[in-house]
Chains A and B, each alone.
Chain A
Amino acid sequence: MSVIDVKYWESAVRDASSPQLLRQAREQFHDAANCGQTGDAVLEAVVSVNRIHDAIIKRCLHWSEQQMEREGWGSPPSAYEFVLLGSAGRREQTLWSDQDNGIVYPPPSAAEAEHCEKYYLRLGSVIVDTLNAVGYPPCEGNVLAREPLWCKPVNQWLELLNQWAGDPTWEHVRYMLIVADLRSLTGSGALTACLKEKLFQCVNHDQELPGRMLYNALRHKVLLNIFGGFVKESYGEAAGSIDIKYGAYIPLVNGIRLLSITAGLMEPSTMGRISHLTEQGLLPDPMGASLTAAFQTVLDLRSRSQYKMVDDAYEGTGMVEFGQLTKEDKEALKQALKTGDALQKYLRKQISASR
């Protein structure tokens, strides 16, 4: 078992002088990091991998700002926050995650509004391209800093949250859940905190919203059939594999996220959320312990899932070949799935009771 030397790789990232060289460094990092950690080492590895991802993204952001200057835009007009969403926001990216990001900037004066809007949208576009060049494919759902929906001054973000809360369609609820995982990579984090506070306020003042979020959180079921057997993929290249991402990881993430939103927790990582929820007595101790163990198992298996190169970028499948799992893996996975199932039942009970 080897430990990832974070300092070494952070320095390798800093030393890369171009996206091409950074990509090479990233590939070397893949080889070094992809060496089958188990147990506690998995959690450590996830933390380390995400620190390196953060370093790479920061490096790309630095080059993007430089390119903006070369293009004649000058330096950033205000103290903006480049925010990460999805698994990056939760510090749970795998080696081959894609990019989900956005920009939040301080409310500009009327005179600066147009320039700011143009500047940040262009910056968003440049950084999405730069990250793509380094091997992070853009998110298919277009949750990207180059999109007007995800690149706004904080006052408009707040308005938007109000609108979504007032009209909680499936899509709007999904956006609100995305906001819950926001994490600022640059800047003070004050703007991001402001958005999250607004989100919690909306949820706490609305009788209907938690229920709506519950539907969304329960959308992906754990992959156990009613006899307690694993539900595997039946067809295609992944036949016989188990979809760890959507059948184990996402149900846990979604459930814990919803509990955290209703509790008003700022913490974006699932493991951190479980700790806070347990400490605050919002999760019974035994459930907190089983969720920690379950999430560790799932992260471990997720790190072993297959990935492939698509359009010159890394793409994880989230699938793990069932036949390659040991007896212990299968037992741990079954326990994790049972815990996921129990979490979904607990959520249903908690949210219904609070309405």
Chain B
Amino acid sequence: MEFQLNALWVMLGAILVILMQGGFIMLETGSTRMKNAGHVAGKTIFTIGLGAIIYWMIGWGIAYGPDGNAFIGLGDFFYNPYNSGEDLPNSVSFIFQFAFAAISLSIAWGGFAERGKLAAYLLFTLVFVALIYPVVSHWIWGGGFLAEDGAQDFAGSTVVHLTGAMAALAATILLKPRIGKFNKDGSANNIQGHNQVFTTLGVLILWVGWFGFNGASTLGVDDTAFFGYVAFTTLLATGAGAIVSLLTVWALSGKADIGTMLNGTLAGLVAITASCAFVDPWAAVVIGAIAGALVYASMKFFEKMKIDDPIYALSVHGAVGVWGTLANGLFATEELAVNQVGVGQAGLFYGGGWGQLLVQLESVVICGIFAFVVSFVALLIIKAVVGLRVTEEQEIMGLDLSEHGSYGYPEHMTNSGKTSGISS
């Protein structure tokens, strides 16, 4: 009975994680301009489809193939999971793991937004799903060398979020900023997304889906239904992220900016992803709260560095992914790390000393550098072969028309109106 229950719970989790793509579609589309809406939304579905085939052909084998070593998995290419699996059907396991790979891929698209060529999306999907993501997931979740060191990353602050963000960073550096993002004097312009309601709904869908993302990462239903606790810490951290990000931007800029609050909410989710199974409730609140403030500082930092991060993927998934992973090294409790999950040891504040923190640091540094370097090289090659960025004319006209020949909003029209008031 436990086998079937595990299968049901993890399958439900996989469905929730795949539904998170709906959140990304809303988030990314709402945060970008109307002329690119159809492209931004549609390419997500296409790349998930392409990713599914590539993960089946190669990705799964690199991540979890039985014949590999500490650095790479090998075997089980063109995987057939029929009637296999010990605690969980391998078919369910495959779908669940693929769903995570697809989330990481969608995070990477944040760096391509509003100027990437469709062909570049296609080719990068091949590299990312066949190699970059599977290698990192092998290191931490597939019995690789970081797993052996005791790296704690319960649902993927590093594996999923940091990896995707590093690919996004490589892409946005190579693609260079969108037309109009920075002025000649170096100051930044705020290129506003076209629909804040879409963005907000996207965040809500992601939040709901995250209960599957983190909760089903228990990979089963044990006697204590531990997934409930995981979902509980996830909820607390997210709430703290939303509150602190709003208060931070309000206190510092005088404006209660909705976009920052939404990013803070996601930051809470990203930060608790690594630690949701390892920390006490109060620590979950602290982790989410720090993430909420950190994401705002990071958004400002990247802008100052003149790096165009259209949907703030570098801050939400990158900077906060690092924080979430390191947080384990501070807040992991012995009871949860050693007795419940059985990975690593207690963090600095729970008598574990510096050991776990150093392991966490090792994992973010190694995985971050690997994901960035391989993505950068792959994108350089793609740039040389087919090019990464659409032409200036195509970018101005919008990717809906230039890449797909029709508008996401065929009847869209601009509306210019002037506000009025007495001069003073």
Binding site for B on A (CB under 8 A): 85-87, 97-98, 100, 139-143, 174, 178, 221, 223, 225-227, 229, 231, 234-240, 245, 249-250, 253
Question: Is A139 touching B422 in the complex (CB atoms < 8 A)?
Answer: yes
**Min C-beta distance of B191 to chain A, whole Å:** 9
Contact between B424 and A253, CB atoms less than 8 A apart: yes
Which of A97, A142, A235, A236 is most buried by chain B, counting CB atoms within 10 A of its CB? A235
Can you list 25 A-B pairs with a CB-CB distance of less than 8 A? A85-B422, A86-B422, A87-B423, A139-B422, A140-B418, A140-B419, A140-B421, A141-B420, A141-B421, A141-B422, A141-B423, A174-B421, A221-B254, A223-B254, A225-B254, A226-B251, A227-B251, A229-B252, A235-B187, A235-B188, A235-B189, A236-B187, A239-B188, A245-B424, A250-B424
Cβ of A141: which chain B residues have Cβ within 8 Å of it?
A: 420-423
**Contact of A100 with B423 in the complex, beta carbons under 8 Å:** yes
Minimum Cβ distance to chain B for residue A308 (Å) = 15
Q: How far is the CA of A249 from the CA of B254 in the complex (A)?
A: 17
A229 to B189 CA separation, bound complex (whole angstroms): 22
Residues of A within 8 A of B253 (CB): 225, 231, 234
Cβ contacts under 8 Å, A221 to chain B: 254
B183 CB-CB contact with A under 8 Å: yes
Task: Verify if B415 is at the interface (C-beta below 8 Å from A).
Answer: no
User: Residue on A with the closest CB to B185?
Assistant: A237
| B190 interface contact, C-beta 8 A | yes
Chain A residues whose C-beta falls within 8 Å of the C-beta of B185 in the assembled complex: 237
How far is A140 from B417 in the complex, measured between Cα atoms in Å?
A: 12
Q: Other than the known A234-B188, A234-B253, what 17 A-B pairs have Cβ atoms closer than 8 Å? A: A86-B422, A86-B424, A87-B424, A97-B423, A140-B418, A140-B421, A143-B422, A221-B254, A223-B254, A226-B251, A231-B252, A231-B253, A234-B190, A235-B188, A235-B189, A240-B187, A249-B424
Contacts of B251 in A (CB 8 A): 225-227
Contact with A along B236-254 (1 / 0, CB 8 A): 0000000000000001111
| Least distance between B312 CB and chain A CB atoms (Å) | 14
Expressed in whole angstroms, the minimum distance between the Cβ of B193 and any Cβ of chain A is: 14
Residues in B neighbouring A87, C-beta threshold 8 A: 423-424
- Bound: A238/B190 CA distance, A: 12
**Chain A residues within an 8 Å CB radius of B187:** 235-240
- In the complex, what residue of chain B is closest to A236 when comparing beta carbons? B189
Separation of A339 and B419 alpha carbons in the complex (Å): 30
- The CA of A174 and the CA of B423, in the complex, are separated in Å by 12
Cβ distance B248 to chain A, nearest Cβ, rounded Å = 10
The total of Cβ contacts below 8 Å across the A-B interface reads 62
Instruction: Report the minimum CB–CB distance from B26 to chain A (whole Å).
Output: 24
CA distance A221 to B254 in the complex (A): 8
Q: B397-424 vs A: 1/0 string, CB under 8 Å? A: 0000000000000000000001111111
| CB closest residue in chain A, given B421 | A141
Residues of A within 8 A of B418 (CB): 140
Shortest Cβ distance from B191 into A: residue: A235
Complex CA–CA separation, A236 to B421 (angstroms): 22
Task: Give the Cβ gap from A140 to chain B, nearest Cβ, in Å.
Answer: 5
Q: Using Cβ atoms and an 8 Å threshold, which residues of chain A touch B254?
A: 221, 223, 225, 231
How distant is the Cα of A141 from the Cα of B188 in the complex, in angstroms? Answer: 29
* Bound complex: CA A140 to CA B423 (Å): 8
Contact with A along B54-66 (1 / 0, CB 8 A): 0000000000000
Q: Which residues of B contact A223 (CB under 8 A)?
A: 254
- Within 8 Å CB of B183, what residues of A? 236-237, 239
From B253, B421, B423, residue with most partner A Cβ within 10 Å: B423
- From 366 to 424 in chain B, residues with beta carbon under 8 angstroms from any chain A beta carbon are 418-424
Q: How far is the CA of A225 from the CA of B251 in the complex (A)?
A: 6
Binary A-proximity of B329-365 (CB < 8 A = 1, otherwise 0): 0000000000000000000000000000000000000
List B residues 166-203 near A (Cβ within 8 Å). Answer: 183, 185, 187-190
B255 to chain A, nearest CB (A): 9
- Chain A nearest CB, measured from B114 CB (Å): 17
Nearest-Cβ distance from residue A240 to partner chain B, whole angstroms = 6
In whole angstroms, what is the CA distance A225 to B188 when docked?
21
Q: In the complex, what distance in Å separates the CA atom of A56 from the CA atom of B183?
A: 38
Q: Which residues of chain A are near B419, meaning CB under 8 Å?
A: 140
Complex interface: chain B residues within 8 A of A85 (CB)? 422
Give A236 to B185 CA distance when docked, in angstroms: 10
CB-defined contacts of B421 to chain A, threshold 8 Å: 140-141, 174
Q: Which residues of B contact A227 (CB under 8 A)?
A: 251-252
Complex CA distance for A139 and B254, rounded to whole angstroms: 28
- Are the C-beta atoms of B190 and A236 separated by less than 8 Å? yes
Given contacts A225-B251, A227-B252, A231-B254, contact A86 B423 (CB under 8 A): yes
Report B-chain residues with C-beta under 8 Å of the C-beta of A239: 183, 187-188
Complex Cα distance A100/B421, Å?
10
Q: How far is the CA of A143 from the CA of B423 in the complex (A)?
A: 9
A234 to B251, CA, bound (A): 15
Complex interface: chain A residues within 8 A of B189 (CB): 235-236
Give the nearest-CB partner of A97 in chain B.
B423
Please, how many angstroms separate the alpha-carbon atoms of A97 and B423 in the complex? 8
Q: How far is the CB of B123 from chain A (nearest CB, A)?
A: 34
Closest partner residue, chain A, to B255 (CB atom) = A231
Q: Tell me the minimal C-beta distance from B298 to chain A in angstroms.
A: 15
Per-residue A-contact encoding for B248-290, CB less than 8 Å = 1, 0 else: 0001111000000000000000000000000000000000000
Q: How close is A146's CB to chain B, nearest CB, in angstroms?
A: 15
B423 to A139, Cβ gap below 8 A?
Answer: yes
CA distance A239 to B183 in the complex (A): 10
Tell me the nearest residue of chain B to A98, going by C-beta: B423
| CB-CB nearest in chain A for B252 | A225
Nearest residue in A to B300 (C-beta to C-beta)?
A234
- Complex interface: chain A residues within 8 A of B423 (CB): 86-87, 97-98, 100, 139-141
CB nearest neighbor in A for B254: A231
| CA distance in complex: A196, B366 (Å) | 73
A142 to B422, CA, bound (A): 7
Pair A140/B420 contact, Cβ less than 8 Å: yes
Q: Identify the closest chain B residue to A249 (Cβ).
A: B424
Q: How far is the CA of A178 from the CA of B387 in the complex (A)?
A: 58
Give the residues in chain B near A245, CB-CB below 8 Å: 424
Residues of B within 8 A of A174 (CB): 421-422
Query: With A and B bound together, what is the CA distance between A223 and B253 in angstroms?
Result: 9
Contact with B190, one of A142, A178, A235 (Cβ below 8 angstroms): A235
Q: Which residues of B contact A250 (CB under 8 A)?
A: 424
Which single residue of chain B is at the shortest CB-CB distance from A240? B187
Give the one of B187, B189, B252, B419 with max A CB within 10 A.
B187
Q: Within the complex, what minimum Cβ distance (angstroms) separates A39 from chain B?
A: 24
Q: How far is the CA of A97 from the CA of B195 in the complex (A)?
A: 36
